[in-house]
Every structure is written in C-alpha cells, then in structure tokens.
A = this chain, B = another copy of it.
Amino acid sequence: MLYDLIIIGGGPAGITAGIYAVRQKLNTLLITKSFGGQVARKAVAIENYPGFEAISGLELIQKFEKQLRKQKVDIERDLVVKIKKIGKKFIVFTESKQQFQSKAVIVASGADPRPLEVLGEKKFIGRGVSYCTVCDQALFGDKTVAVIGGGNAGFEAAIALANYAKKIYILEYAPKVGADQINQERVKKTGKVEVITNAALKQIKGNQFVNSIIYQDRKTKKNITFPLEGVFVEIGSIPATGFVKGLVDFNEKDEIKINPRNNQTKTPGLFAAGDVTEVKQKQIVIAAGEGAKAVLAAYDYLQKQK
C-alpha cells in the first residue's frame, strides 16, 4: 500500500497534521509510539493554549487524540528507525521491523529537553522541576528558584523569571558562563540573579514539592545545600531526528532546517513541523499551527506530482 502521506509523531504538530491531512483527503498513516509528546508529561496546568483557560497536558492531548481518531487515518503504535527515499517514494522502517511507503512524509517527532540526570529530578517534574520557563514561570511568584545552565537559554530563563521570582540562582558547571554579554548585562540589571560557576548539581530534594538542592563546588569539592522552590533546567534539548539523517540539514542544536514558509526540508516531499525543527519558539499552539502548515504544503506538493 502506498500512502499519500506518512506523519511521524503524536504530539501537537503530528496530531494537527493528521486532522488536516484527512480533511484534505490524503490517504494518511500516522506513526507514533505514544500520544502527547512533552505535553502529556506536563503536570502543571496549561493556560496559554487558546480555547482552554486551564487544562492539564494529559487532558488536552486526549482531546487532540480523540479528534484525530474520529478521522479516517491509519495509526501505527511504533517507533520509526529509518527513512529512505527511492525515486519519488519514501520507505519508512520501524523498530518492530515493519515497512510503510508514501509519497510524502512529515516529521513531527518532537524533542525532549536534555535531562540533568541527577537524584530527585524525575520525582519532582511538575512539582518544582520545569523544562519550560515560558510555560511555568507564572507559578513561581515571589519564590526562590535555580536555573541550571549558564548558556543563553539559562540566562534568558533567568531574565524572564525575574518578572516573577524573588531570587534566582544560575548554576553553571563550567568555570565560566557561556551566555552572550548582553544577556549577562540584562541579568545583572534585574538585581535578583546570582550566578554560581563551577557548580555540579548533585541532588534535588523535597517532600511534596522541591524544597532544596545540593551542588558540589568543583573547586573546593564541598557539597552545598540551599533552600529553594523551583529548578528550571536549561541545558539544551534532544530532537528526535536520528532516523532522518542524510535527508535533511540540521542546525547547531540538531534541529531540522526548514523553509519557514512551507516547512519543506532539503528533500522534496519531506516536511518537518514542531519542536523537531529549528522553529525557535517551542509552544503547543505554535507546533499545532506548524503541523497544519506542513500538511497544506504537502498537499500542494502532492498536487504537483500528479
């Protein structure tokens, strides 16, 4: 069977793509190991997806999935491990040794924030540990928080958090921070941020919620404990793109480069949407919009192939 379109990924971009694809009468297969991507793992309420004043990530993604399943779309619960293009045809290989063929492909496999891999991190996700400042900053009004990572992302997180939090620590593992000078100046201007270098985070502690962290001062080798309410992890992300190497170009963050007007990658017929791409803003509503854009562009591409 030759599909018109295979969509890889079950987060907001992939599901929206699926809804739009079927409405464009594209014979569509969506392949995903699970639905929801990062959204389903968010424990705090989402308040910035238009249409819902406050909704849990899981609930929102269940609504998305239900809406998708009302359409005539094939769904495979599997993990894509490789894509090949032979002539004008794509062959998609999965972990469980299945093969699927299509005329066009949308990669919407998302990205995972790079975890700290320290004690307590997993336990307190959504209970003080956050991987998304824009999403969660408003919860930390007048609280003390740490941002882990002294690059631009960490400094920008600290600047944003300064609108809410009482005190912010930036912890950087290296002897020097990597953020641009301008971000360093802006952080200074907030008057609320303290930068600690040579800091190796060891543990996140708490009861119901985070109440402290332990880090090692790498110069003195001493372990230091201090109380705080939030830990923002800003040490990069890992786009799920291994299976598509060779067919697309990547930026310096391993994100897929696209033409921002039509989500086309460097391989004709191969599109990408959402957090897996270089689109800077990682937000549910933006990923959903990008999924719709990618389908409408894929539709145009398929029309031209006829």
Interface residues, chain A, CB within 8 Å of chain B?
12, 15-16, 19-20, 23-25, 47-53, 60, 63-64, 66-67, 70, 134, 137-138, 159-160, 163-164, 182, 186, 189, 260-262, 279-281, 283, 285-290, 292-293, 296, 303-304, 306
Contact = CB atoms under 8 A, between A and B. Distances in A.
A160 B295 CA distance: 14
A286 B292 contact: yes
Given A48-B292, A53-B67, A189-B306, 6 more contacts: A25-B163, A50-B64, A51-B63, A260-B261, A285-B285, A288-B288
B286 A293 contact: yes
B281 A182 contact: no
6 contacts: A16-B50, A25-B164, A50-B63, A51-B51, A189-B306, A285-B289
Contacts of A288: 50, 285, 288-289
Contacts of A293: 281, 286
B15 A50 contact: yes
Contacts of A283: 289, 292, 296
The list of the 9 closest CB pairs from A to B, nearest first, reads A289-B289, A260-B260, A25-B163, A286-B289, A281-B296, A16-B50, A53-B67, A285-B288, A285-B289
A63 B54 CA distance: 11
Integer count of this chain's copies in the complex: 2
Nearest to A25: B163
Candidate in A63, A260, A292 with the most chain B CB atoms within 10 angstroms: A292
Contacts of A280: 261-262, 296
A53 B25 contact: no
Contacts of A15: 50
A223 to B, nearest CB: 35
Contacts of A164: 25
A20 B289 CA distance: 15
A137 B23 CA distance: 8
B48 A51 contact: no
A152 to B, nearest CB: 11
Given A51-B51, A67-B51, A285 B24 contact: no
A212 B203 CA distance: 73
A262 B278 CA distance: 12
A280 B299 CA distance: 13
Contacts of A261: 260, 279-280
Contacts of A60: 51
Contact of A23 (B20, B138, B289, B292): B138
